[in-house]
Amino acid sequence: MVRQAAAENAADTDGTDLAEAIEAAAATEASADTAASTATAATTAAAEATRVSQVSRASQASDGTDLDPARVPALIRDSFALVTDGFDRVVSHFYALVFTEYPALRDMFPPMMDAQRDRLFQALVRIVGQAEHPDGLADYLRDLGREHRKFGVRPEHYDMVWRCLISALKHHAGSTWTAEMDAAWLAAYQLIAGTMMEAAEEHARHAPAWWSARVVGHERRTPDIAVLTLQPDAPYKFRPGQYLSLETQRWPRVWRHYSIANAPRADNTLTLHVRTVPAGWVSTALVNHTNVGDTVRLGPASGTMVCNTTSMRDVLCIAGGTGLAPVKAMVEDMAKWNTTRQVRLFYGARHDDELYDLADLERLAYRRRWLSVVPTVSHDPRYPGERGMLPDVVTRYGEFFDHWAGHDVYVSGSVPMVRATIARLQELNIPLASIRFDAYGGMDGLWQPGAGQGAPVPPSAPAAPGTATNERPDPPAPDSPSAWSAASHGAWRRDSGWRAEVAGQVRAPQTIDEWLLSQAS
């Protein structure tokens, strides 16, 4: 009930707020269980050190060449199913092994491990769920590789962590675990670690692992919403609609994702919209305890909810709460080059005082006649403008615009709001390929993105010119740390279409839930 109440309180906020609300509730109701399970796992971790070494030797002895690559996805699913019911114990066991066998790695993790434990499970669920179509994971894994640079992750750390994970899985699967499952997970490791390391290496050629940014503006718009302006210490590249990860001095090693709320500026400043969540560590620190002159750290920009600059279609934007941030960034950018495409922006909140950026939007609409803004309030019967839930209001207006046929659609907000909105749009026969969204709490309510954060068109549809692509970085040099990975996982790539640029290798999602689950990041 505590978790449900926290989620409901965040229903009209952006994906970060929802994730922090769930995390705060989970920490309240699960702290005792976490402590107990971690203590139990720690008591057996020393004994498992030998097993870790055995896993390493087994992995080195099995290179996957005797395994039919077509069987890898089924083996991964079957082996994961053996431990899913007790996965809390698996994760506790895993982290106890990591911190016992490699204590120096503890400083890479946040002080409170509840959310970290959940993220590991969520990442594995995603990988297992897309095992048959690993090319759909390419962008997700590359983002993870770039993001992990800020933690100080080095190539050798992947092997350390993977040994402990396989050892924990095998321990809890018991005698039902087979040598073929070992080989399948080794193949998965080679793909995952290889892709992440290649992306990290390519990113290191032109960008730092993280940026230091000074707070140059802090405006409290409502009691729980602040607009922050940051000045990074080096050029910060991003595309309008993307998001970043942020760490405060108050909570070292605790990172949260926030959408950038502006188009790129000549002065390199960034604007964030932050709503505080009760017991939300980073959001509370940013809204209530951050002042001009303070310093934060930023990770690289991520996300694919970016505007197609070559399309001639009109644009429908639907933003709930602080989910306005990425939409505003795209509209600001369009103000620099758009002259013909009509943009209709629906901006929703529970109460009119939560329409914290309406005045600025209206000024922009006054200067750019192609932009129209429709503010909507859902929980105030006295509001004189549009009232109702955003999906309902958008549907009503659709009667005047051919039910939004022929529009590029962008949706941003909380997970429930985005899910409901896309479902309603699908009822209007808007193809999924025309919809991009940002709900980086995770569209299945499980993982972050930051995640993030935005989804491209379904993989079976060709990406439109000017949008994010699945272009792979240059292959590593033969003597580079990640050169081994490119060759070692070639067999699975050939058989399962890992290369994202190979057309026709990915089955099209058949339902909205399947698409949301497979594409949210």
Give the whole-angstrom CA distance, residue 411 versus residue 384.
24
- Which conformational region is residue 264 in: left (phi greater than 0), alpha (psi within -120 to 50 degrees), or beta? beta
Two tokens, residue 242 = 């993307």
Residue 232, Ramachandran bin (φ over 0: left; ψ between -120 and 50: alpha; else beta): beta
3-state secondary structure of 372: strand
The Cα–Cα gap between 444 and 440 comes to 10
Q: What per-residue string of b and e applies to 468-481 under the rule 16 or more CB within 10 Å gives b?
A: bebeeeeebeeeee
Structural domains in the chain plus CATH codes? 2-204 (1.10.490.10), 212-298 (2.40.30.10)
- Give 140-152 pLDDT, tens digit per residue: 899 889 988 998 8
Contact between 368 and 358 (Cβ < 8 Å): no
Alpha helices in 205-337 (DSSP H): 281-288, 324-337
For residue 70, name the pLDDT band (cuts at 50, 70, 90): confident
Per-residue pLDDT of 180-207, as tens digits, reads 998 999 888 888 999 999 999 999 999 9
- Strand 295-298 with 270-275, pairing: unpaired
pLDDT, tens digit, for every residue of 35-57? 444 444 444 444 444 444 444 44
Contact yes or no for 346/317 (Cβ under 8 A): yes
The per-residue pLDDT for 439 is 67
pLDDT of 110 reads 81
CA angle in degrees (0–180, nearest 5) for 9-11-17: 80
Full-model pTM:
0.70
Look at residue 467 in the predicted model and tell me its pLDDT: 29
